[in-house]
Chains A and B, each alone.
Chain A
Amino acid sequence: MLDSMMNGMMNGISTTLIPINILMVLFGCFMGSLIGMLPGLGPITAVALMIPVTYGLDPATGMVLLSGVYYGAIFGGSTSSILINAPGEAATVATALDGYPLARQGYPGKALAIAAYSSFSGGTIAVVMMMFFAPMLASVATSFQSADYFALMILGLTAVSAFAGRGGVLKALLMVVLGLMLATVGTDQTSGIQRFTFGSLELLDGIEFLLLAMATFALTEALMIILKRDESSDSLKPKMIGFKSLKVTKEEFKFIAPTIARSSILGFFIGVLPGAGATLGSFMSYGMERNLAPPEEQKKFGKGSLRGLAAPETGNNAASSGSFVPLLCLGIPGSGTTAVMLGALIAYGIEPGPRMFIDSPEVFWGVIMSMYLGNVFLLVLNLPLIPYFARLLAIPRNLMVPMILFFSLMGVYLVTFNDFDIMMMVFICVAAMGLRLMNMPMAPLLLGFILGGLMEDNLRRALLIYDDSIAFMWQRPLTLGINLATIIILLLPLLRAFFARRKKAVSVTQG
């Protein structure tokens, strides 16, 4: 086991240290930071926008680039949270709680530096943990059969919904189902029969995943900026924010070090859970730190606490690294962004899942080892560049939004060279905007869409093996265990509501 891990690590190091890959990590971190910094644009959009660039590259290089974009975007999102209180995406909302007040108090440089050091530490600690846990999980998962895969996919899709928050479970499940429905469009791979193509030749191959990702995230988010008159980016005057010092004192480091250690571990394990992702990682780390803080420090939370800033920043980066574990080991994405990356893997012709550990070790280990390098690049190169990056926030939206729309449309067109795809993107974008206005989440839709085809194939195979009996759902202990986990996850919101009502009833009786 240790031998194969060492071999894998060496393989990963040699993959990462190829000049083109080093360049791609750097480029990915840089582009991720730039895109993630733009208010309204999160890592899903950043990764989707960069996928067309990776199509001409080797799969390992492509994944290394996309990973860099992912954690670069999380880092970039923190910058806009701290400087203008406009989180690029949900995972950096908690960063703004203490980061923005700190910047307002005249310490934007310090806030950004603490965010950068925390991100670096969280990311690095999580990668070390990932290096040990991922191969273990992958080697166990090589014994998985179709029935287990099917059960795992159900578990992944259910978990995404279970973490959707109060009142959001049914909506998230509904969006997963919509994603699965969209995945059935096109020619059925087994029978060759056309489904929902309405006689259109363009739909024979189904809906392109990149098209769906761009339409539901990049285009929709850009149009939402216009619809909601989001002028946060127009209000920033970067020159007025003094970056006097990015220096953090020794005492401050000592003060936040335990927070970073705790949040890294918590963040990593939250990230590993399918569906939880960086958002939950950052909020739970923030919550844990506030609960653990002494009363004096607790009062500072929300007013510029250093621990309040370090915790979510560490948590979200550790969770984003952790979310690679289910992606690389099981082929089940842990978050919306890793779902897009799973789509990219499929497009490269790599079969995601535990076999990837054996069949494409350069991708598996290359991604893990490149994360070390990415975290170093983020700290060493991006931190000093922050004052210059921040000027990007001053690009007025009347120039920025058409450019985002252009890059999104072009990203798909230059891959397919099909005018019909542009039309379809616009159609899906309008539908997605409607759904967003009706408070329906989009990330579960993407997850459902990407897993749809794989799920149907595994279900079909499992039924074939078990003579058309659904007994495959409980005959193997492993499958049964996964299904029980799904049931527990589904029951969680109900149990939570039950206990909340009971607590309320008890307090009323006592009152």
Chain B
Amino acid sequence: MAREKVGALVMLLFSLAYGYQATQIPLSFLSQQEFFTPRTMPYALAVTGFVLSFLILVLPTVDEQGKTSLAEETQGMDWKPAIQLVGLMLFYGLVMKWLGFVIASIIFLLIGFRILGERRIKRMLLAAIPLVLVLWVVMSMLLGVYIAPGEIFHMLGII
């Protein structure tokens, strides 16, 4: 199946789900009397999304790039580091509150460099630490933006 058609199928299902969710939007008594309610636009978009996806599905694929299958397109792609980086970003989001901006960012960069094959510790540290510290100084000291320290510092009684 052409990858473009797969995309259209995904969007068709998404439009259906979106349309269903639109029916769940609560309407106040006043809204119910109106012609244009908070549901009107979502309904119109769900129908348009459905029609467009359906057209892409049934009409022949003209775009040469869209004709390849998803398997062909993704063949030979370097999935492992990309998935690891996605995981790392999620980890960054999770630990930010606990470790604070400076420590979480340095850890994020160091692990990121390592995932992509960098092994020279000195180079990694020289790239990560000054960058984060300079940003922290610029944001908090020069621009006066308050960046909360991590919860861990409170828990350990450091702050």
Contacts and interface: CB of A to CB of B under 8 A. Distances in A.
B93 A414 contact: no
A167 B45 contact: no
A459 B52 contact: no
B16 interface: no
Given A174-B56, A422-B92, A414 B139 contact: yes
Contacts of A437: 3, 70, 73-74
Contact of A439 (B3, B78, B139): B3
Given A177-B45, A410-B135, A419-B93, A439 B63 contact: yes
A404 B51 CA distance: 37
Contacts, number: 184
Interface in A209-263: 219, 223, 226-229
Contact of A171 (B7, B15, B37, B38): B7
B77 A402 contact: no
B146 to A, nearest CB: 9
Interface in A435-452: 435, 437-440
Given A178-B49, A398-B116, A403-B131, A426 B89 contact: yes
B137 interface: no
Contacts of B109: 402-403, 406
Contacts of A223: 82, 85-86
Nearest to A188: B38
Contact of A227 (B61, B77, B108): B77
A115 B35 CA distance: 55
Nearest to B115: A402
A419 B63 contact: no
Nearest to A433: B82
A398 B70 contact: no
A223 B83 CA distance: 9
Contacts of A171: 4, 7, 56, 63, 66
A190 B55 CA distance: 34
Interface string B107-129: 01100110111100001000100
B118 A399 contact: yes
Interface in A452-478: 456, 459-460, 463-464, 468
B25 to A, nearest CB: 5
A230 B131 CA distance: 25
A184 B42 contact: yes
B112 A426 contact: no
A191 B36 CA distance: 11
A180 interface: yes
Interface in B64-116: 64-66, 70, 73-74, 76-79, 81-82, 85-86, 89-90, 92-94, 96-97, 101, 105, 108-109, 112-113, 115-116
Contacts of B143: 56
Nearest to A180: B45
A401 interface: yes
Contacts of B66: 167, 171, 439
Contacts of A195: 22, 25, 38, 42
A430 B66 CA distance: 20
B117 A398 contact: yes
Given A227-B79, A405-B112, A174 B36 contact: no
B85 to A, nearest CB: 6
B41 A413 contact: no
Interface string A409-437: 11001100101101101100110001101
A453 to B, nearest CB: 10
B13 interface: no
Given A177-B49, A438-B70, A468 B3 contact: no
Contacts of B52: 170, 173-174, 177
Contact of A406 (B37, B62, B105, B145): B105
Contacts of A405: 85, 89, 112
B36 A463 contact: yes
Interface in A1-59: 56
Given A171-B7, A195-B38, A181 B45 contact: yes
Contacts of A196: 18, 21, 25, 42
B27 A460 contact: no
Given A188-B38, A405-B85, A439-B3, A419 B97 contact: yes
A170 B56 contact: yes
A419 B38 contact: no
A1 B28 CA distance: 49
Nearest to A401: B116
Nearest to A493: B62
A426 B93 contact: yes
Contact of A423 (B28, B90, B105): B90
Nearest to B98: A419
B112 A406 contact: yes
B55 A438 contact: no
10 contacts: A173-B52, A181-B18, A184-B45, A413-B101, A414-B101, A414-B139, A426-B86, A429-B89, A430-B86, A463-B36
Given A226-B82, A406-B131, A439-B3, 12 more contacts: A166-B62, A166-B63, A170-B52, A171-B66, A188-B38, A190-B38, A195-B42, A396-B118, A397-B116, A403-B131, A406-B105, A409-B92
Interface of A: 56, 165-168, 170-171, 173-174, 177-178, 180-181, 184, 188, 190-191, 193-196, 219, 223, 226-229, 396-399, 401-403, 405-406, 409-410, 413-414, 417, 419-420, 422-423, 425-426, 429-430, 434-435, 437-440, 456, 459-460, 463-464, 468
